[in-house]
Amino acid sequence: MWRIGSFPTQNETEFPAVTGNQETVTSSPPTLLFQARHSGKTVAYCGIKRIYVESAITCIGDPSLLRKPQCAVTAMRDSLRPHQPSDITPFLFAGTFVSFSARLAQSAGQGHAGYATVTERYLNNTENPLLADARHMTLYDQPKRVFSQRLSQVLNTYFLPSLLPEGIVDDLSVTLSQDSTPEKGWNLNNTLSRTATAIVTNHSAETYAVSGGWVAIFIFSSLVMFGAAVMSAILAHRTSIPDVLGYVSSFTRDAKYFPLPQGGSRLDGLARSRILKNWVVRLGDVKGSDEEIGHLAFAEVRAAGRARKGRLYW
């Protein structure tokens, strides 16, 4: 049942253009009456109005590909553009409401007396309406806010696809079909408009690819170099003699405290190294501990003692 609120006798096209959804032109809001008769009578008087919004929709994908882009509303607000007052809805016209209410009732299929329709089951339980008890249904136990939300979903779900079916079955084209233009239905004052702008944007960003094997090698080599650096610092701290060693075989040439091998001075570095490979050498104190001043020299390990901190050397 529908009760039309009182409003001035003027054509719909003459209603003032407003912004937002608060301003109305009727002295009393239009009222929708809902009734259900199962396990007690449910009666609801619902104020009804049209909400105008502006939405920002973001799509991800390439429109030129076979698979269509995935779109979603990312922002929404009350419309700031001029439009009719929110209490002016298509249901103000008797023919529209009678046809809509009859077809909405028929959409639930042929029922049986005493059994709830699928629509009523949804109003009672949106999670699984087909499994709800069809005989004992107390819709009046629903909180007003919950019942209002569910009834609004039912009305909007049926009404909006009737305006533009192709938009529901994912066949939304730029050109409106002839059956959904204002000239073929009620006078909408040309407010039913839709614009589509094809914009393809590419967001470039630097992407770093990491190879697990190379990362492992890099970490291992870094740890080895770090360990070598630590050991070098430890040895430098513990060593008490000057860091003068280079090619050790060069120190054996003409060394005063080192016995020369046979052939002595005419041997090159590699030959001398091969001959002396088993000798243990030391850069140490070649003076006895009984002398006051020591002397650091390159010698055979048995001919040189360890350098000591606190001893004077020359």
Q: Which two tokens stand for residue 292?
A: 């006051």
pLDDT for residue 186: 41
Report helix, strand or coil for 33.
strand
Contact 164, 182 (CB under 8 A): no
Instruction: At 20, give phi and psi (nearest 5°).
Output: 80, -170
Report helix, strand or coil for 73.
strand
pLDDT at 311 over 50: yes
pLDDT for residue 170: 62
pLDDT for residue 222: 96
CA 180 vs. chain centroid, Å, equals: 38
pLDDT in tens, 272-302: 777 777 778 888 888 877 777 888 887 878 8
Helix H or strand E segment including 32: strand 31-37
Name the residue with higher pLDDT: 144 or 289. Answer: 144
According to DSSP, the residues that pair with 73 across neighbouring strands are 57
Dist CA 265 CA 268 (whole Å): 8
Position 35: which residue type?
Q
pLDDT for residue 183: 40
Dist CA 296 CA 313 (whole Å): 7
CA 247 vs. chain centroid, Å, equals: 62
Residues 6+ apart with CB under 8 A from 18: 82, 83, 84, 85
pLDDT in tens, 76-119: 998 888 888 888 888 888 888 888 888 888 887 776 666 788 88
Position 172: which residue type?
L
Domain chopping of the chain, boundaries: 2-184, 207-238, 240-313
225: confidence class by pLDDT, cuts 50, 70, 90: very high
Name the residue with higher pLDDT: 281 or 215. Answer: 215
Contact 286, 311 (CB under 8 A): no
Count Cβ atoms below 10 Å from residue 137 Cβ, excluding itself. Answer: 21
Dist CA 9 CA 172 (whole Å): 37
Give me the DSSP letters along the chain.
-EEPPP--S--GGGSPPBSSS----SSS--EEEEEEESSSEEEEEEE--PPPEEEEEEEES-TTSSSPPEEEEEEEEE--S-B--TT--GGGSHHHHHHHHHHHHHTT-S--TTS--HHHHHHH-SS-GGGS-SSS--GGGS-HHHHHHHHHHHHHHHHHHHH-HHHHTT---SSPPGGGSGGGSS--TT---------------------HHHHHHHHHHHHHHHHHHHHHHHHHHH--S----SSHHHHTTT-TTSPPPTTGGG--HHHHHHHTTT--EEEEE-S-TTSSEE-EEEEEGGG-BPP-TT-EE-
For residues 216-243, give the mean pLDDT.
87
Report helix, strand or coil for 167.
helix
